[in-house]
């Protein structure tokens, strides 16, 4: 009875609240799946979190609440307030974002790596955000200041602002490679024979907004013509951009808004220019959450050329990850495993060059495990279980060049039956961030 009364009261209150730009502030709500069609909600631009036990969970702003109210659709507030209620506590000495990086903290730490590992690490400005923040890449190679034309792999984080853990995993990978170059022959061979490019924060403006204003913020901070803010930059890449209004949205107020044209955003243009300037043969784009490894296509449920090979790589990575902490990452074609997307990163990197490309959705599995709010104490463990997959894919690209590209001979690759010196290190000593 109390729950029903609360829902009715919310409906009355929302009807009295003027609509504001969707997504500018909000809270987690749930609606009965019997009362709504999730696919229709997605097409209308609602920010769907998950479906569970007959209910659909949504991050809803005032405009979303008003739309539900106008349709007489009852809902339940699951986490009142525009900031995370009940999320894992952050340490007081770490500021608002605890042990997670802000844009400035990330720049400081990668510059420290460049200073401490001269010749192996180089910090490169690849672009500038809408609000004037630099987009930084960390290049790791045996002659990092030179363009040797070596095969390259790229690891990207933080397309979506609220996915803080996606910054930490690629950053810690770079830190691991540099710190273990002199300790592990496998790492030395990999770094000597290739270029590893790491872009931990693709969306610095959105990240800062998520830290200081609204924790659930997803997009960049584009001021749209209708008064709303933000483009989903993981819907702004050029391959099959705007293919339909399910995998992305033409509505600027939607959290899936794809922008006015492909690469309209400086953040995606920066990644495009970096990728096309180098011999990238593999890519991972880190996101959260759902604990999954996904490969093209995302825009259609039809299989991509080379689908079997992508599936085999994903299966191997999943097995290597599970061997560390027992964490199981499901894997499959993106459109079949979760939902369709168009204009996303890995469809573009695969469609452009055929480079094996993967989206890794980091833990937890669902909102019950914390959703976007990873416990900072788990950063090291999450990185540790992803490390062998990153090493494997980087090495795979050297042993399996793309058509027309020269094979670079190296030592035997990491695989299911060989952990390697570097992997043994991380199992025994899962790295944690040093502030």
DSSP structure string for 130-185? TTS-EEEEEEESTTTTS-----EEEEE--SSTT-THHHHHHHHHHHHHHHHTTT-H
Tell me the backbone φ, ψ of residue 123, rounded to 5 degrees: -95, 125
Tell me the backbone φ, ψ of residue 17, rounded to 5 degrees: -100, 125
- β-pairing, 292-295 with 55-60? unpaired
* Distance between start and end Cα atoms, the chain: 50
Q: Is the dihedral of CA 363, 368, 373, 375 positive or negative?
A: negative
Catalytic residue among 163, 361, 376, 385: 361
Closest by CA to 35, choosing from 15, 51, 56, is 56
- Peptide bond before 97: cis, by omega within 30 degrees of 0? no
Tokens standing for 374? 């990873």
Are 186 and 145 within 8 A, CB to CB? no
User: What secondary structure letter does DSSP report for 54?
Assistant: T
Burial class of residue 79 (count of CB atoms within 10 Å of its CB; 0-12, 13-18, 19+): buried
Q: Is the dihedral of CA 152, 181, 155, 147 positive or negative?
A: negative
| 3-class state of residue 186 by DSSP | helix
How would you label 138-170 residue by residue, b for 16+ Cβ within 10 Å and e otherwise? bbbbbebeeeeebbbbbbbbbbbbbbbbbbbbb
Are 152 and 281 within 8 A, CB to CB? yes
361 assigned to active site: yes
Active site residues: 361
């Amino acid at each position: 009875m109390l729950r029903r009364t609360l829902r009715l009261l919310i409906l009355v209150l929302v009807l009295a609240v003027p609509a504001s730009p969707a997504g500018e502030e909000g809270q987690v709500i749930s609606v009965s799946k019997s009362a709504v069609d999730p696919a229709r909600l997605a097409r209308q631009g609602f920010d769907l979190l998950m479906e569970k036990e007959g209910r659909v969970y949504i991050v809803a702003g005032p405009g979303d609440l008003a739309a539900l109210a106008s349709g007489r659709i009852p809902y339940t507030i699951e986490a009142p307030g525009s900031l995370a209620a009940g999320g894992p506590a952050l340490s007081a000495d770490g500021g608002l974002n605890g042990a997670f990086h802000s844009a400035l903290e990330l720049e400081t730490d990668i510059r420290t790596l460049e200073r401490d590992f001269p010749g192996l690490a180089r910090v490169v400005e690849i672009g500038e955000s809408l609000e004037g923040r630099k987009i930084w890449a960390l290049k790791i190679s045996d002659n990092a200041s030179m363009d040797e034309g070596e095969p390259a792999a790229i690891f990207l984080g933080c397309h979506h602002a609220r996915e803080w853990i996606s910054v930490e995993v690629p950053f810690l990978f770079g830190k691991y490679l540099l710190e273990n170059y002199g300790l592990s022959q496998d790492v030395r061979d990999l770094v000597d024979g290739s270029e590893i490019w790491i872009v931990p924060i693709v969306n610095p403006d959105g990240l800062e907004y998520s830290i200081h204003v609204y924790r659930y913020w997803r997009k960049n901070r584009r001021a749209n013509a209708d008064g709303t803010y933000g483009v989903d930059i993981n819907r702004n890449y050029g391959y099959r951009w705007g293919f339909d209004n399910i995998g992305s949205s033409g509505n600027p107020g939607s959290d899936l808004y794809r922008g006015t044209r492909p690469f309209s955003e400086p953040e995606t243009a920066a990644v495009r220019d970096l990728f096309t300037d180098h011999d990238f043969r593999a890519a991972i784009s880190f996101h959260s959450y759902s604990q999954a490894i996904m490969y093209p296509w995302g825009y259609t449920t039809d299989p991509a050329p080379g689908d079997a090979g992508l599936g085999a790589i994903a299966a191997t990575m999943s097995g290597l990850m599970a061997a560390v902490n027992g964490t199981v990452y499901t894997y499959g074609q993106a459109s079949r495993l979760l939902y369709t997307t168009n204009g996303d990163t890995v469809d573009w990197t695969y469609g452009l060059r055929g480079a094996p490309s993967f989206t890794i959705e980091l833990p937890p599995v669902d909102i019950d495990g914390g959703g976007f709010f990873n416990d900072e104490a788990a950063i090291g463990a999450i990185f540790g279980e992803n490390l062998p997959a990153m090493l494997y894919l980087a090495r795979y690209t050297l042993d399996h060049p793309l058509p027309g590209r020269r094979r670079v001979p190296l030592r035997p690759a990491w695989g299911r039956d060989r952990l390697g010196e570097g992997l043994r290190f991380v199992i025994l000593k899962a790295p944690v961030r040093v502030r």
